[in-house]
Amino acid sequence: MVRGLEPGRRVALIINEMQRGTVDAGLTDFPGLVEQAASRGIVAAIAALADTFRAAGLPVVHAHIAHRPDYADLPLTSLIMARSKRNGRQQEGSEDAEPMPGLAPQAGDIVHHRGYSLIAFHGTDLDTRLRHMGIDTLVITGVSTNIAIPGLALYAADMGYQVVVPEDCIAGASAETHAFVVANLLPLYANLATRAQVVEALQGRP
């Protein structure tokens, strides 16, 4: 049994930044991430996992980036943020802020937008919303293994959540970066698993 998925645990799926401006070849500034997401097949894997969560009556949360059109509240303290503003990326309502085909939110899903942070928890109400639903375990999927996935997992673990990361449902900017983070960082504060292991645990719960 994967730690955090035991019977009685209240589990939520986080689908992080699976948007066209992040992993769609025609709309992103991150070609390596596009290649890795495609070669690892994470869109289909995450979609299948989301269906398992819905069937089990468990929350599916889409953590999306949606910047103000004027980027007035965007801190230009990182290359990623500065590039987003310079290239006019992922504004509210724009094509590149849309979810990837195959991962459109379904009825009952939660779509959580943030405009100015690299991590979905920082400066947002995500923690409050999860606490109100009684969530104590997060299954984190999406991109990227470079920054957002380990950052989100560390932040969640620090706040008392059990964290599960199905390794075949995440991707980074390169195979080398992904392998390093999975081997050396994520195991320190998250429980690594496969999608099949998560599905098995959820389907075996009463």
Domain spans, the chain: 11-203
Task: Give me the helices (H) in 56-174, please.
Answer: 79-86, 126-132, 148-158
CB-based contacts of 163: which residues, under 8 Å, 6+ apart? 4, 137, 138, 140, 153, 156, 157, 189, 190, 191
Region 12-24 average pLDDT: 96
pLDDT at 31: 93
- Helix, strand, or coil (residue 146): coil
Report yes or no: 25 and 31 within 8 Å, Cβ to Cβ: yes
- Is 85 a residue whose pLDDT tops 90? no
Calculate ∠ Cα 148-202-177, nearest 5°: 25
pLDDT at 86: 83
* Percent of the chain residues past pLDDT 90, beyond the cut: 78
Residue 74's pLDDT band (boundaries 50, 70, 90)? Answer: confident
Of 22, 46, 48, 49, which Cα lies nearest the Cα of 35? 22
- Is 157 a residue whose pLDDT tops 90? yes
Q: How far is CA 120 from CA 14, 81, 134, 163, in A?
A: 10, 14, 18, 14
Region 12-39 average pLDDT: 95
Q: Which of 74-78, 111-115, 128-132, 134-138 has the lowest mean pLDDT?
A: 74-78
Calculate ∠ Cα 172-178-184, nearest 5°: 140
R_g over Cα of the chain: 16
- Is 153 a residue whose pLDDT tops 90? yes
CATH class of segment(s) 11-203: alpha beta
State how far the Cα of 144 lies from the Cα of 101, in Å rounded to an integer.
Answer: 18
Rounded to 10 deg, the angle between the 42-55 and 195-203 helix axes is: 10
pLDDT at 126: 97
Q: Which amino acid is at 73?
A: D
pLDDT at 92: 85
- Is 84 a residue whose pLDDT tops 80? no
State how far the Cα of 83 lies from the Cα of 92, in Å rounded to an integer.
Answer: 16
- Is 64 a residue whose pLDDT tops 80? yes
Report yes or no: 75 and 81 within 8 Å, Cβ to Cβ: yes
Region 60-89 average pLDDT: 84
pLDDT at 146: 96
- Is 150 a residue whose pLDDT tops 90? yes
pTM across the whole model: 0.95
Residue 180's pLDDT band (boundaries 50, 70, 90)? Answer: very high
pLDDT averaged over the chain?
94
